[in-house]
Amino acid sequence: MDQLVSRSVSAITFIDAPNLSIKVGNVSFAYRELGPDAAVPIVLLNHWAAVLDNFDPRIMDGLASRHRVIAIDYQGIGASTGSAPDTIEAMASDVVALVQALGYSKIDLLGFSLGGFVAQQVVLQAPELVRKLILTGTGPAGGEGIDRVGAVSWPLMLRGLLTLRDPKYYLFFTPSRQSRMAAKAYLLRLKQRTTDRDKPATPIALLRQLKAIKSWGRQAPQNLSQVGVPVLIVNGDNDIMVPTRLSQDMAARLPNAQLVIFEDAGHGGIFQYHAEFVSKVLAFLDGSGSQAVQ
């Protein structure tokens, strides 16, 4: 990872964004950023075993058309040093420390899947830090079925090996023709960056993250009524990894939430409907999003 800290990256696309790193304590966190300079950037937190190259370039570029976006590797993941935390609380503490090290006192926060667990914890640990929150393909602490993410994933990961397909083809999308076509397009987008790619997550880091996910699913529910910031919740209508009903549950428990459910879409509904998702996020961040459930 190049040791670079620059804010002059507004003209680039995500597949060309330089690899950056910043040291926080004894850990060097890897990240990429792009988009216009802004006092309030969007910080993006990704899914289980994901590295920087797993952020969807279409979503990153779409958001960066109007906002500064910062995508990060968790500690011990990809090019970030240290040991991957095995609790959501520790991951959230890392995010808070990283944001502060980057010099921001306020952010918008977008979390997908595991990233959504971490994002919720960040808001509860440091409520003054987050202006608006976007939760996608995710669920609340204690959500029924979250502790079975591994049990659901392993067979489909094996299927991916046997069929020579990325497991996300099966895990993130429905079996419909439309969704499978979107899966192929999404996986091709993830390969567009051909140089200076991130390091893959190690098996040990993957298992430590899975331990954190299981614990999140088994812990007592949190009081989401304490979350006072506006929240946009997005999922597909057939999420087999973090059941869609948990998105609906969060929307009912959060005092200022909007819910968007994409039809014929799975865990990766935001990738299948990337253009619509970007439009809804931009409207939400600009204060013009609808409160209607879709």
CATH number of the domain within which 38 lies = 3.40.50.1820
Residue 287 confidence (pLDDT): 85
Total domains, the chain: 1
C-alpha 236: how far from chain center: 15
Residue 5 confidence (pLDDT): 45
C-alpha angle 254-50-199 in degrees, rounded to nearest 5: 150
Element (H, E) at 111: strand 107-112
Is residue 47 included in any domain, yes or no? yes
Is residue 291 included in any domain, yes or no? no
Residue 3 confidence (pLDDT): 41
Tokens describing residue 132: 């608006």
pTM: 0.93
Residue 288 confidence (pLDDT): 53
Tokens describing residue 179: 């969704």
What is the span of the domain harbouring residue 32?
A: 14-285
Is residue 6 included in any domain, yes or no? no
Residue 10 confidence (pLDDT): 57
Is residue 7 included in any domain, yes or no? no
Is residue 2 included in any domain, yes or no? no
Is residue 246 included in any domain, yes or no? yes
Tokens describing residue 3: 């040791």
Closest CA to 165 of 190, 187, 189, 194: 187
In the chain, which stretches have pLDDT less than 50? Answer: 1-7, 289-294
Is residue 168 included in any domain, yes or no? yes
174-214 per-position pLDDT tens digit: 999 999 999 999 999 999 999 999 999 999 999 999 999 99
